[in-house]
Amino acid sequence: MLGIVYANGQGVPRDDERSVHWYRVAAEQGFAPAQFNLGTCYVNGLGVHQDDATAAGWFRKAAEQGNVLAQSILGTSYALGRGVPQDYTKAVMWSFIASLEGGQKAKQGLALVKRYATASEVQEGKRLARDWLSTHKPTE
Protein backbone atom coordinates (compact mmCIF):
# COMPACT_ATOMS: atom_id res chain seq x y z
CA MET A 1 0.00 0.00 0.00
CA LEU A 2 1.51 3.30 -1.11
CA GLY A 3 0.25 5.09 2.00
CA ILE A 4 2.55 3.00 4.17
CA VAL A 5 5.49 3.60 1.82
CA TYR A 6 5.11 7.38 2.24
CA ALA A 7 4.26 7.17 5.95
CA ASN A 8 7.47 5.26 6.68
CA GLY A 9 9.70 6.80 4.01
CA GLN A 10 10.43 3.42 2.43
CA GLY A 11 12.50 4.27 -0.66
CA VAL A 12 10.90 7.71 -0.87
CA PRO A 13 11.07 10.78 1.37
CA ARG A 14 8.64 10.54 4.29
CA ASP A 15 5.52 12.54 3.36
CA ASP A 16 2.46 12.44 5.62
CA GLU A 17 0.26 14.34 3.14
CA ARG A 18 1.02 11.90 0.32
CA SER A 19 0.51 9.05 2.74
CA VAL A 20 -2.95 10.38 3.59
CA HIS A 21 -3.73 10.78 -0.11
CA TRP A 22 -2.97 7.13 -0.84
CA TYR A 23 -4.69 5.88 2.30
CA ARG A 24 -7.78 7.83 1.22
CA VAL A 25 -7.71 6.36 -2.29
CA ALA A 26 -7.65 2.84 -0.86
CA ALA A 27 -10.06 3.66 2.00
CA GLU A 28 -12.68 5.05 -0.37
CA GLN A 29 -12.48 1.77 -2.29
CA GLY A 30 -13.40 -0.04 0.93
CA PHE A 31 -9.97 -1.36 1.97
CA ALA A 32 -10.28 -1.77 5.76
CA PRO A 33 -6.55 -1.48 6.63
CA ALA A 34 -6.41 1.85 4.75
CA GLN A 35 -9.56 3.02 6.53
CA PHE A 36 -7.91 2.19 9.85
CA ASN A 37 -4.67 3.95 8.87
CA LEU A 38 -6.57 7.02 7.68
CA GLY A 39 -8.43 7.12 10.99
CA THR A 40 -5.09 6.98 12.78
CA CYS A 41 -3.82 9.92 10.71
CA TYR A 42 -6.85 11.97 11.77
CA VAL A 43 -6.45 11.04 15.45
CA ASN A 44 -2.81 12.11 15.42
CA GLY A 45 -3.00 14.98 12.92
CA LEU A 46 -0.52 13.35 10.53
CA GLY A 47 -0.85 14.94 7.09
CA VAL A 48 -4.29 16.31 8.01
CA HIS A 49 -5.77 18.54 10.68
CA GLN A 50 -6.44 16.50 13.82
CA ASP A 51 -10.15 15.58 13.85
CA ASP A 52 -11.53 12.95 16.24
CA ALA A 53 -14.96 12.84 14.57
CA THR A 54 -13.50 12.12 11.14
CA ALA A 55 -11.18 9.55 12.69
CA ALA A 56 -14.11 7.80 14.35
CA GLY A 57 -15.93 7.67 11.01
CA TRP A 58 -13.01 5.90 9.36
CA PHE A 59 -12.56 3.57 12.33
CA ARG A 60 -16.27 2.70 12.08
CA LYS A 61 -15.93 1.80 8.39
CA ALA A 62 -12.95 -0.45 9.15
CA ALA A 63 -14.65 -1.93 12.23
CA GLU A 64 -17.75 -2.82 10.20
CA GLN A 65 -15.48 -4.87 7.94
CA GLY A 66 -13.99 -6.80 10.85
CA ASN A 67 -10.79 -4.83 11.49
CA VAL A 68 -10.10 -5.77 15.12
CA LEU A 69 -7.87 -2.78 15.87
CA ALA A 70 -10.55 -0.42 14.58
CA GLN A 71 -13.20 -2.24 16.63
CA SER A 72 -11.11 -1.86 19.77
CA ILE A 73 -10.37 1.83 19.15
CA LEU A 74 -14.02 2.51 18.33
CA GLY A 75 -15.02 0.93 21.64
CA THR A 76 -12.56 3.18 23.44
CA SER A 77 -13.81 6.19 21.48
CA TYR A 78 -17.37 5.55 22.66
CA ALA A 79 -16.20 5.04 26.24
CA LEU A 80 -14.32 8.35 26.24
CA GLY A 81 -16.68 10.29 23.98
CA ARG A 82 -13.77 10.98 21.64
CA GLY A 83 -15.13 11.88 18.19
CA VAL A 84 -18.50 10.34 19.02
CA PRO A 85 -21.03 10.94 21.79
CA GLN A 86 -20.08 9.02 24.93
CA ASP A 87 -22.08 5.80 24.90
CA TYR A 88 -21.12 2.90 27.17
CA THR A 89 -23.52 0.51 25.44
CA LYS A 90 -21.72 1.01 22.11
CA ALA A 91 -18.39 0.96 23.93
CA VAL A 92 -19.23 -2.49 25.33
CA MET A 93 -20.51 -3.66 21.95
CA TRP A 94 -17.36 -2.79 19.99
CA SER A 95 -14.99 -3.77 22.80
CA PHE A 96 -16.73 -7.15 23.16
CA ILE A 97 -16.50 -7.80 19.41
CA ALA A 98 -12.80 -6.89 19.41
CA SER A 99 -12.12 -9.02 22.49
CA LEU A 100 -13.27 -12.16 20.69
CA GLU A 101 -10.50 -11.84 18.08
CA GLY A 102 -8.12 -9.25 19.46
CA GLY A 103 -6.13 -10.96 22.15
CA GLN A 104 -5.26 -9.78 25.63
CA LYS A 105 -5.16 -6.02 24.98
CA ALA A 106 -8.70 -6.01 23.57
CA LYS A 107 -9.88 -8.08 26.54
CA GLN A 108 -8.30 -5.57 28.91
CA GLY A 109 -10.10 -2.77 27.06
CA LEU A 110 -13.42 -4.56 27.50
CA ALA A 111 -12.76 -5.11 31.20
CA LEU A 112 -12.02 -1.41 31.64
CA VAL A 113 -15.18 -0.32 29.80
CA LYS A 114 -17.25 -2.72 31.90
CA ARG A 115 -15.98 -1.04 35.08
CA TYR A 116 -17.67 2.21 34.06
CA ALA A 117 -20.79 0.87 32.34
CA THR A 118 -23.95 -0.01 34.19
CA ALA A 119 -25.14 -3.62 34.26
CA SER A 120 -27.88 -2.79 31.75
CA GLU A 121 -25.37 -1.08 29.42
CA VAL A 122 -23.14 -4.16 29.56
CA GLN A 123 -26.08 -6.48 28.89
CA GLU A 124 -27.37 -4.36 25.99
CA GLY A 125 -23.87 -3.91 24.55
CA LYS A 126 -23.29 -7.67 24.53
CA ARG A 127 -26.71 -8.21 22.91
CA LEU A 128 -25.85 -5.69 20.18
CA ALA A 129 -22.48 -7.41 19.70
CA ARG A 130 -24.11 -10.82 19.32
CA ASP A 131 -26.59 -9.37 16.82
CA TRP A 132 -23.75 -7.77 14.86
CA LEU A 133 -21.69 -10.97 14.92
CA SER A 134 -24.64 -13.00 13.65
CA THR A 135 -24.66 -10.97 10.43
CA HIS A 136 -20.94 -10.33 9.92
CA LYS A 137 -18.29 -12.89 9.12
CA PRO A 138 -14.79 -12.36 10.49
CA THR A 139 -12.65 -11.02 7.65
CA GLU A 140 -9.25 -10.75 9.28
One pLDDT digit (tens) per residue for the chain, 140 residues: 778 877 878 888 887 899 999 999 999 999 999 999 999 999 999 999 999 999 999 999 999 999 999 999 999 999 999 999 999 999 999 999 999 988 788 899 999 999 999 999 999 999 999 999 999 876 54
Residue 11: burial class (beta carbons within 10 Å; 0-12, 13-18, 19+): exposed
Q: What is the pTM of this model?
A: 0.91
Which pLDDT score, from 0 to 100, does residue 9 have?
82
pLDDT given for residue 140 in this prediction:
45
**Domain(s) of CATH 1.25.40.10: residues in the chain:** 1-65
What backbone torsions phi and psi does residue 129 show, to the nearest 5 degrees? -65, -45
Please list, in sequence order, all residues whose beta carbon lies within 8 angstroms of the beta carbon of residue 25, skipping any fewer than 6 positions away.
34
Contact 126, 101 (CB under 8 A): no
Per-residue pLDDT at 139: 52
**Contact call for residues 117 and 89 (beta carbons, < 8 A):** yes
* Rounded Cα–Cα distance for residues 60 and 43 (Å): 13
**Per-residue CA distances from 66 to 27, 50, 59, 100, 136 (Å):** 14, 25, 11, 11, 8
For domain 1-65, the CATH class is: mainly alpha
